[in-house]
């Protein structure tokens, strides 16, 4: 998988024009909101499938609509799908590219910080089903990922926060040096960071994720640590009918997981100080029983047993099989 950094829309257009020579046809998957902000997408191809906005994109009806569009426009094994968008577009396009004709080439152009450091990296694809996030999925590695750093300048504070949640996750589970970098270079200035700081954060996260993915591509073992905060986070997303952003949901999930982790006082103090930049409001009147029910559908559950990801020290995660669900339920009180 090739990661290619670009600084302008014209550089991306030039790159795609060069790439398209390899293919019979280029198909773009994006949504109207993204296209309205980045009109250059219309210059990439005449064949554009416009998905619904948000998580509603990742549905069976949308999947059927998309593959129908591909088929009606003679998409074939020599064609390529280019995903231009955030995490939902990356998940959705990857699922289509992996299943249409048993797989066609895929290029990712992530437009959100979260997608740059997570959804576009590592080959996981997904659809939501039965009110459960990412219940359906495949693995599909992108042929290339094009990261346009200029996209970051168009993101609002909330979108930057969503991406920062995943960046923090990598530092907590894998990379204490990244945590130190966040403490020294990010806390004081977030969300108004220079692009070179964002690039360094993105680059560190991609390297961290690929280190794990290359050891466990199909998510059978150590790759599970990348789900730190996601068991509770995904349950909260489902509980709030996906009206709670992924990044905020994962932040709440990481707060619960950190609370349950066996860390020393100094580590807890440092992590608690990091939470300040996110300014997370209290979740009032949540139904803990409903959240636990959503957790029962978590794909990390095996035979009714929940594998939960905790920290045994700052920068190192462990997998706790058959974790006590009662402890998780009690820890939800901190939210």
Averaged pLDDT of the chain: 94
- Separation of CA 39 from chain center: 24
Do 86 and 140 lie in a common domain?
yes
Q: What percent of the chain has pLDDT over 90?
A: 87
Q: How far is CA 127 from CA 68, 89, 94, 241, in A?
A: 17, 10, 10, 15
Helix (H, G, I), strand (E, B) or coil at 301: strand
Neighbouring C-beta atoms of residue 221, cutoff 10 Å: 11
Strands (DSSP E) found in 68-143? 79-85, 105-110, 127-129, 132-136
* Tally of domains within the chain: 2
The residue range of the domain holding 83 is 2-154
Mean pLDDT of 134-155: 96
Q: Which of 154, 176, 197 is the last residue of a domain?
A: 154
Q: Which of 154, 183, 198 is the last residue of a domain?
A: 154
Do 146 and 165 lie in a common domain?
no
Mean pLDDT of 201-216: 97
Residue 136 is classified by DSSP as E
Task: Look at residue 235 and tell me whether its pLDDT is greater than 70.
Answer: yes
Do 150 and 161 lie in a common domain?
no
Do 128 and 117 lie in a common domain?
yes
- Closest of 275, 240, 285, 269 to residue 254, by C-alpha: 275
User: Is the omega angle on the peptide bond into residue 191 within 30 degrees of 0, that is, cis?
Assistant: yes
Neighbouring C-beta atoms of residue 57, cutoff 10 Å: 23
Task: Look at residue 277 and tell me whether its pLDDT is greater than 90.
Answer: no
Do 229 and 111 lie in a common domain?
no
Q: Which of 127, 154, 181 is the last residue of a domain?
A: 154
Instruction: Grade residue 284 by pLDDT with cuts at 50, 70 and 90.
Output: confident
Cα–Cα distance for residue pair 192/223, rounded to 1 Å: 31
Model confidence pLDDT, tens digit, residues 66-89: 999 999 999 999 999 999 999 999
Do 272 and 290 lie in a common domain?
yes
Six-digit token string for 119: 């959804």
Q: What is the pLDDT of residue 299?
A: 65
Do 137 and 173 lie in a common domain?
no
Do 182 and 69 lie in a common domain?
no
Rg (CA), the chain: 20
- Closest of 173, 182, 178 to residue 254, by C-alpha: 173
Model confidence pLDDT, tens digit, residues 35-69: 999 999 999 999 999 999 988 999 999 999 999 99
- Closest of 325, 317, 318, 323 to residue 294, by C-alpha: 325
Do 68 and 47 lie in a common domain?
yes
Task: Enter the pTM of the model.
Answer: 0.93
Helices and strands, number each (H, E), in the chain: 13, 12
Q: What percent of the chain has pLDDT over 70?
A: 99
Positive or negative, the Cα torsion across 124, 128, 131, 135?
Answer: negative
Do 134 and 218 lie in a common domain?
no
CATH classification of the domain holding 149:
3.40.50.1970
Model confidence pLDDT, tens digit, residues 246-255: 999 999 999 9
Mean pLDDT of 133-147: 95
Task: Look at residue 300 and tell me whether its pLDDT is greater than 70.
Answer: no
Greatest extent of the chain over all pairs of C-alpha atoms, in Å: 61
Task: Look at residue 151 and tell me whether its pLDDT is greater than 70.
Answer: yes
Q: What is the pLDDT of residue 322?
A: 87
Instruction: Grade residue 27 by pLDDT with cuts at 50, 70 and 90.
Output: very high
Task: Look at residue 131 and tell me whether its pLDDT is greater than 90.
Answer: no
Neighbouring C-beta atoms of residue 61, cutoff 10 Å: 9
Cα–Cα distance for residue pair 80/93, rounded to 1 Å: 11
Do 174 and 149 lie in a common domain?
no
DSSP 11-68: HHHHHHHHHGGG-SEEEEEEEHHHHHH-GGGGGT-S-EEEEPSGGGGSSHHHHHHHHH
């Amino acid at each position: 998988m090739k990661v290619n950094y670009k600084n302008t829309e014209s550089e991306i257009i030039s790159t795609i024009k060069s790439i398209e020579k390899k293919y019979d046809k280029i198909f773009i998957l994006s949504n109207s909101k993204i296209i309205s902000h980045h009109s250059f997408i219309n210059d990439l191809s005449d064949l554009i499938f416009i998905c619904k906005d948000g998580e509603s994109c990742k549905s069976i009806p949308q999947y059927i609509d998309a593959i129908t569009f591909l088929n009606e426009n003679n998409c074939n094994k020599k064609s390529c799908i280019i995903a231009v968008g955030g995490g939902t577009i990356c998940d959705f396009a990857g699922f289509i590219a992996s299943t249409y004709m048993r797989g066609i080439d895929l290029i990712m152009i992530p437009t959100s910080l979260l997608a740059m450091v997570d959804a576009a990296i590592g080959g996981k694809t997904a659809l939501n089903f039965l009110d459960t996030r990412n219940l359906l999925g495949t693995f599909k590695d992108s042929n290339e990922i094009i990261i346009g750093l200029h996209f970051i300048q168009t993101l609002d504070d909330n979108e930057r926060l969503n991406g920062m949640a995943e960046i923090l996750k990598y530092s907590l589970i894998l990379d204490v040096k990244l945590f130190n970098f966040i403490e020294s270079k990010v806390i004081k200035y977030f969300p108004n960071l220079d692009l070179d700081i964002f690039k360094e954060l993105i680059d560190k996260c991609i390297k961290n994720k690929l280190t794990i993915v290359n050891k466990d591509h199909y998510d059978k073992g150590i790759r599970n640590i990348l789900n730190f905060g996601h068991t509770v986070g995904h349950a909260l997303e489902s509980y709030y009918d996906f009206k709670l952003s992924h990044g905020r949901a994962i932040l709440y999930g990481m707060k619960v997981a950190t609370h349950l982790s066996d860390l020393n006082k100094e580590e807890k103090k440092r992590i608690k100080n990091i939470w300040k930049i996110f300014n997370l409001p209290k979740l009032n009147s949540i139904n803990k029983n409903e959240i636990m029910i959503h957790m029962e559908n978590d794909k990390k559950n095996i035979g009714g047993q929940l594998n939960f990801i905790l920290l045994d020290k700052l920068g190192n995660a462990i997998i706790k099989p058959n974790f006590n669900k009662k402890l998780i339920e009690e820890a939800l009180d901190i939210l």
